[in-house]
């Protein structure tokens, strides 16, 4: 059971102490060893209780964590569908924007052609208006000259001859 020589060897080896067999340190060592042997079963029970409590608490925590993970997973799955829909809508919008850009470019080219044609018409109309203004000025001069007597009207085979 308890051995004093073991106690002396332990104290010599670990603490470099050479003690007598009846020394208080030997007795304390032996009491400690005895306490340890007597508490071995109690320590097992306490350790077992602690381990059980840890496992039970861990189980509840893991159960709650699993529930949370499932909830997050479901939320992510729901978001994935929404994101897919958003991506599809963005792709459709991109396609529509491209079509709109093409139509806008075509309309712009058509407007450029129409504006160029209108510019040509305006140029021709401006030239005609200039010619008409010149002719009107000459007509006014001719009327003024006629009324002033500066021009004579020939009735036979003259100015109004057909």
Tokens of residue 137, six digits: 């000025």
Is 156 a domain residue? no
Residue 42's domain spans which residues?
4-147
Residues counted in the chain = 162
User: What pLDDT is stored for residue 34 in this prediction?
Assistant: 78
40 close to 34: Cβ distance less than 8 angstroms = no
Which CA distances in Å does 78 have to 30, 66, 89, 146? 69, 18, 17, 97
Confidence of residue 53 (pLDDT cuts 50, 70, 90): confident
User: What pLDDT is stored for residue 157 in this prediction?
Assistant: 58
DSSP state of 109: H
Side-chain half-sphere exposure of 37, counting CA atoms within 13 A:
8
User: What pLDDT is stored for residue 159 in this prediction?
Assistant: 55
Average pLDDT over residues 111-132: 93
Confidence of residue 121 (pLDDT cuts 50, 70, 90): very high
Helices then strands, counting H and E runs in the chain, come out as 2, 0
pLDDT at 146 over 90: no
Average pLDDT over residues 139-152: 83
End-to-end CA distance of the chain: 163
How many domains in the chain? Answer: 1
Is 160 a domain residue? no
Who's near 20: CB < 8 A, 6+ residues apart? 26
Query: For a pLDDT cut of 90, what percent of the chain falls above it?
Result: 32
Is 157 a domain residue? no
Question: From CA 126, how far away is CA 135, in angstroms rounded?
Answer: 14
Average pLDDT over residues 75-87: 87
Is 153 a domain residue? no
Is 161 a domain residue? no
pLDDT at 135 over 70: yes
pLDDT at 158 over 60: no
Is 138 a domain residue? yes
């Amino acid at each position: 059971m308890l051995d004093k020589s073991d106690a002396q060897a332990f104290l010599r080896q670990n603490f470099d102490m050479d003690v007598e067999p009846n020394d208080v340190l030997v007795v304390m060592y032996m009491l400690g060893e005895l306490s340890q042997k007597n508490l071995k079963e109690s320590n097992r029970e306490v350790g077992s209780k602690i381990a059980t409590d840890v496992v039970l608490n861990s189980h509840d925590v893991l159960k709650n964590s699993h529930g949370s993970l499932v909830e997050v997973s479901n939320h992510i799955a729901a978001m994935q569908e929404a994101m897919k829909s958003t991506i599809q809508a963005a792709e459709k919008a991109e396609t529509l924007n491209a079509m709109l850009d093409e139509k806008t470019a075509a309309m712009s080219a058509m407007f450029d052609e129409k504006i160029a044609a209108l510019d040509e018409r305006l140029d021709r109309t401006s030239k005609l208006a200039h010619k008409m203004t010149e002719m009107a000025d000459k007509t006014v001069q001719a009327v003024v000259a006629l009324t002033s007597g500066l021009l004579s009207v020939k009735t036979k085979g003259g100015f109004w001859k057909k």
